[in-house]
Amino acid sequence: MLSLLTQSISNASFAIYFPKFVGSIYELLSAPVSYLEIVIAYVGGAATKSIVLGLIILATASLFVPLTIEHPFWMLAFLVLTAVTFSLFGFIIGIWAKSFEQLQLVPLLIITPLTFLGGSFYSINMLPGIWRTVTLFNPVVYLVSGFRWSFYGKSDVSVGVSLGMTVVFLLICIAIVAWIFRTGYRLRN
């Protein structure tokens, strides 16, 4: 899940930032394709690469440890939902960034701490009351909890809440991308 999350962000952010950097984004924006098709292409490509990588890691792990997936459908659903959501988030970062340094700023200073504080390596139920409440504002908690439930049948947060919060984050990213294309934010000079 963590590799999927980080690869989704970096694949999408580099994919849209590089055309901006070299100046070929203007040809793309003037091409007879809709903004929806542009987003589907970039986000779909980044999400597909991330999903393939996640499945390769899963297959490799199954060679070394006994692996049982209690809810395979939900595992795939969380896998795809996470890849698409964080590819959209990476797309937003790629449009926002003005330099390669800014491109790495959000993943390095925001996403990495959120993954370590999101219950990836521990159960958030082990935390004292106030810190558990603070942790529930971290979107990574819901991804990890839903993915953990699909494998082991145990989660820190209910599966419905995990799915709902992931969809909410997806909808927020879609709204931001729609706003970016409507206003031309950092796409047109």
pLDDT digits (tens, 9 = 90+) for 60-95: 999 999 988 999 999 999 999 999 999 999 999 999
Per-residue pLDDT reduced to its tens digit, 3-50? 899 999 999 999 999 998 998 888 888 889 999 999 999 999 999 999
| 3-state secondary structure labels for all residues of the chain | CHHHHHHHHHHHHHHHHHHHHHCCHHHHHHCCCCHHHHHHHHHHHHHHHHHHHHHHHHHHHHHHCCCCCCCHHHHHHHHHHHHHHHHHHHHHHHHHCCCHHHHHHHHHHHHHHHHHCCCCCCCHHHCCHHHHHHHCCCHHHHHHHHHHHHHHCCCCCCHHHHHHHHHHHHHHHHHHHHHHHHHCCCCCC
Q: Per-residue confidence at 1, pLDDT binned at 50, 70, 90?
A: confident
Give me the mean pLDDT over the 136-160 stretch.
92
Taking the complete model, does pTM exceed 0.85, yes or no?
Answer: yes
